[in-house]
């Protein structure tokens, strides 16, 4: 990293900006990334860092709120027909692209055709052409402010998929985003910042969009208020964690967007540095192979569940930051309700009683794990000790991540601690673990009743009906114990004390809007 990228901190003007005033001049807001982005095209040749940058530049019709519920963004309203197969979006008036052109329904249609063209490379094309959960059968634009999508059958996942970060939020683009020959040039969207420069391997520079059409209200995930309060944002590529920490401590960067749990105590004790965190939709779980001769007994699996002290485990592996969660539905999901709060009580005496009823005779059980993900490995070590404490002979088998992933996909294990990446809808959380093991060995829950409930939750658009399905699923899950959810992950960020408004959140991606510099306290 060149020295000019991590230059000395700029002297700040005295006094905080007024709460509603947008920044007129300020030094760049510097956010560190461990790796460069892959492209600037939404949902194409992308990774998590690419998504994070692009979603400062483009916006979709809908977006995820702070609680992972989908809400309007460029649409001011969404009407769903009685049969659940027609979605009518009314667009907000006065929205402009970075090139000054007004956004209309024609741009929405052009963008959709661009994403779904043959060989477009858009990651989510298969999610809407019938290969995934939704099939879009047509898109109409009856007037400049109206877009109508038709889908083959009702789906509660249509809007959720449109909003997905890995789909680039299905961000609406100006036609000027492509060159005359149709090849990609750069994203020209409606977001609070516009792309100024991408210096590969060093930084991505964004500048404030002065013509941004902001929603009223407060910040709300990827929707709500998104005021650009700094003139420039730089995502700096700092591959080494220790280098990033040192730069933050010196004031040469402003925000580390992904801090490991083990670094939290050090940064919390660093002058002029603050640490914030939020639960995310990822999950660490103890997977159980229900086809195994010993573990096929439900009482044996229930004994495992009651042998674990979840509060102690979560506190130990997350530096006391995370809460335990025995539900497949993440804590921050709008569907994590009273039913999902019920879990397996830590009860060693009950665990021993269930072992006897299961006919356990001291057979050795192996927990597969990897050091690639320290929290997952540490969870395995603690679980081993807790199982041994109730009389279960448990041993660890520590393997490389690639080996564990192969074993997971093949279902060739007795138990393993496993980190699931985030799913932003509760039906997708259940889908990732449920299915026919004969066809998909990676699935852990082979329960036909559960499959039907997931199908219902994936088609129903009524919140109450979906909640009822998820409540039934959780009750079934607690009885079957096909795996043991332990806790959800955390988005931990560290930032300089003169930065105000930075907040980690459920999607685990940095947001530079509503963030500003103030006079250091």
Q: Minimal CA–CA distance to 28: which of 500, 428, 516, 431?
A: 516
Band (pLDDT 50/70/90 cuts) for residue 13 is very low
Q: H/E element holding 480? A: helix 463-480
Tell me how crowded residue 494 is: count the other CB atoms within 10 A of its CB: 29
Question: Mean pLDDT across the stretch 348-371?
Answer: 97
Q: Which residues contact 518 (CB under 8 A, 6 or more apart)?
A: 12, 16, 17, 498, 499, 500
409 shares a domain with 473: yes
Nearest to 208 by CA among 520, 514, 508: 514
Confidence tier at 424 by pLDDT (50, 70, 90): confident
Bridge partners, residue 333, by sequence: none
pLDDT, mean of residues 357-386: 96
- Does 202 share its domain with 297? no
Mean pLDDT within 477-483: 98
- Residue 44 to residue 36: CA distance in whole angstroms: 15
Cα separation, 30 vs 253, whole angstroms:
5
Each residue's pLDDT tens digit, 126-163: 999 998 879 999 999 999 999 999 999 999 999 999 99
pLDDT band at 222, cuts 50/70/90? Answer: very high
Both tokens of residue 115? 């994403």
Residues 484-508, mean pLDDT to the nearest whole number? 95
C-beta atoms surrounding 363 within 10 Å: 13
Tokens of 210: 């002065």
Strands (DSSP E) found in 136-181: 136-143, 146-151
Question: Considering the domain boundaries, does residue 244 fall inside one?
Answer: yes
* Domain containing residue 391: 279-490
Give bridge partners of residue 219 from the DSSP assignment: 224
**CATH number, domain containing residue 237:** 3.40.190.10
Confidence category of residue 520, pLDDT binned at 50, 70, 90: low
9: pLDDT strictly greater than 90? no
Indicate the average pLDDT of the chain.
92
Mark whether 154 and 284 lie in a shared domain.
Answer: no
Looking at the predicted structure, is the pLDDT value of residue 16 above 80? no
Residue 289 belongs to domain with CATH number: 3.10.105.10
Helix H or strand E encompassing 321: none
Q: 365 and 422, same structural domain?
A: yes
Does the residue 245 lie in any domain? yes
> Residue 18 falls within a domain, yes or no?
no
pTM for the full model? 0.84
Percent of the chain with pLDDT over 90: 86
Which residues 6+ apart lie within 8 Å of 28 measured at CB?
205, 230, 231, 232, 233, 234
Co-location of 437 and 508 in the same domain:
no
Residue 337 is predicted with a pLDDT of 96
In the prediction, which pLDDT does 20 show? 37
Q: In this structure, are 466 and 510 located in the same domain?
A: no
Among 41, 64, 204, 186, smallest CA distance to 124 is for: 41
| Residue 390 pLDDT greater than 80, yes or no | yes
Residue 77, Cβ neighbours under 10 Å: how many?
10
Domain shared by 161 and 295, yes or no = no
pLDDT band for position 25 (cuts 50, 70, 90): low
Q: Are residues 341 and 435 in the same domain?
A: yes
CA torsion sign for 340, 341, 342, 343 is positive
- 15 part of a folded domain: no
- The per-residue pLDDT for range 282-329, each reduced to its tens digit, is 999 999 999 999 999 999 999 999 999 999 999 999 989 999 999 999
Look at residue 486 and give its three-state secondary structure. Answer: strand
Domain identity same for 326 and 409: yes
The band of 26, judged by pLDDT with boundaries at 50, 70 and 90, is: low
Any domain includes 266: no
Flag the least confident range among 26-40, 81-95, 338-352: 26-40
Q: Tell me what pLDDT residue 423 has.
A: 84
230 and 288 together in one domain:
no
Q: Does the pLDDT of residue 110 top 70, yes or no? A: yes
Question: Ramachandran region of residue 338, left (φ > 0), alpha (ψ -120 to 50) or beta?
Answer: alpha
Q: Give the pLDDT confidence of 239-248 residue by residue, as tens digits.
A: 998 999 999 9
What is the total count of domains within the chain? 2
Q: Of the candidates 248, 253, 291, which has an alpha carbon nearest to the alpha carbon of residue 267?
A: 248
Residue 215: predicted pLDDT: 96
Q: Tell whether 201 and 241 lie within a shared domain.
A: yes
Say what the pLDDT of residue 260 is: 87
Task: Let me know whether 416 and 296 are in one domain.
Answer: yes
Q: Is 272 contained in some domain? A: no
Encoded tokens for 396: 């660890």
Q: Which stretch of DSSP H or E encloses residue 175?
A: none
Residue at 4 is within a domain = no
Q: Residue 396 domain-assigned?
A: yes
């Amino acid at each position: 990293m060149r020295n000019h990228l991590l230059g000395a901190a700029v002297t700040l003007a005295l006094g905080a900006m007024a709460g509603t005033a947008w920044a007129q001049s300020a030094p760049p807001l510097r956010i560190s990334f461990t790796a460069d982005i892959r492209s600037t095209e939404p949902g194409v040749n992308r990774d998590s860092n690419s998504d994070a940058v692009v979603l400062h530049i483009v916006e979709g019709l809908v977006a995820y709120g702070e609680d992972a519920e989908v809400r309007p963004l460029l649409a001011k309203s969404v009407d769903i027909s009685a049969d659940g197969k027609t979605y009518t979006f009314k667009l907000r008036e006065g929205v402009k692209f970075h090139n000054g052109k007004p956004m209309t329904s024609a741009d929405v249609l052009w963008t959709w055709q661009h994403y779904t063209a043959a060989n477009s490379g858009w990651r989510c094309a298969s999610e809407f052409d019938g290969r995934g959960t939704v099939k879009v059968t047509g898109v109409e634009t009856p007037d400049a402010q109206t877009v109508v999508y038709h889908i083959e059958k009702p789906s509660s996942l249509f809007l959720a998929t449109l909003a997905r970060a890995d789909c680039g939020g299905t961000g609406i683009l100006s036609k000027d985003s492509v060159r005359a020959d149709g090849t990609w040039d750069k994203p020209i969207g409606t977001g609070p910042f516009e792309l100024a420069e991408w210096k590969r391997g060093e930084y991505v520079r964004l500048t404030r969009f002065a013509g941004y059409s902001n929603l009223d209200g407060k910040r709300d995930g990827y929707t709500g208020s998104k005021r650009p309060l700094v003139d420039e944002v730089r995502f700096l590529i700092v591959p080494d964690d220790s280098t990033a920490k040192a730069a933050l401590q010196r004031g040469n960067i402003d925000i580390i967007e992904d801090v490991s749990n083990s670094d939290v105590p050090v940064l919390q004790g660093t002058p002029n540095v603050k640490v914030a965190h939020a639960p995310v939709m990822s999950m660490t779980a103890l997977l159980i192979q229900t086809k195994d001769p010993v573990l096929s007994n439900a009482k044996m699996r229930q004994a495992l569940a009651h042998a674990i002290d979840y509060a102690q485990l979560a506190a130990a592996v997350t530096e006391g930051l995370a809460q335990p969660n025995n539900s497949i539905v993440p804590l921050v999901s709008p569907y994590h309700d009273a039913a999902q709060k019920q879990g397996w009580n830590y009860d060693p005496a009950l665990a021993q009683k269930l072992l006897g009823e299961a006919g356990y005779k001291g057979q050795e059980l192996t927990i597969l794990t990897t050091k690639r993900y320290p929290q997952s490995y540490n969870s395995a070590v603690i679980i081993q000790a807790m199982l041994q404490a109730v009389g279960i002979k448990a041993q660890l088998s520590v393997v490389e991540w690639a080996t564990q992933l192969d074993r997971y996909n093949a279902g060739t294990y007795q138990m393993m601690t496993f980190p699931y990446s985030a799913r932003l809808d509760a039906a997708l959380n259940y889908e990732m673990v449920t299915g026919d093991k004969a066809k998909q060995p990676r699935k852990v829950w082979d329960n036909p009743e559960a499959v039907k409930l997931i199908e219902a939750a994936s088609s129903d658009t009524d919140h109450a009906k979906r909640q009822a399905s998820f409540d039934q699923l959780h009750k079934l899950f607690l009885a079957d114990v096909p795996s043991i959810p332990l806790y959800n992950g955390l988005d931990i960020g560290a930032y300089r004390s003169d930065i105000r408004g930075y907040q980690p959140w459920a999607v685990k991606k940095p947001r530079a809007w509503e963030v500003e510099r103030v006079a250091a306290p």
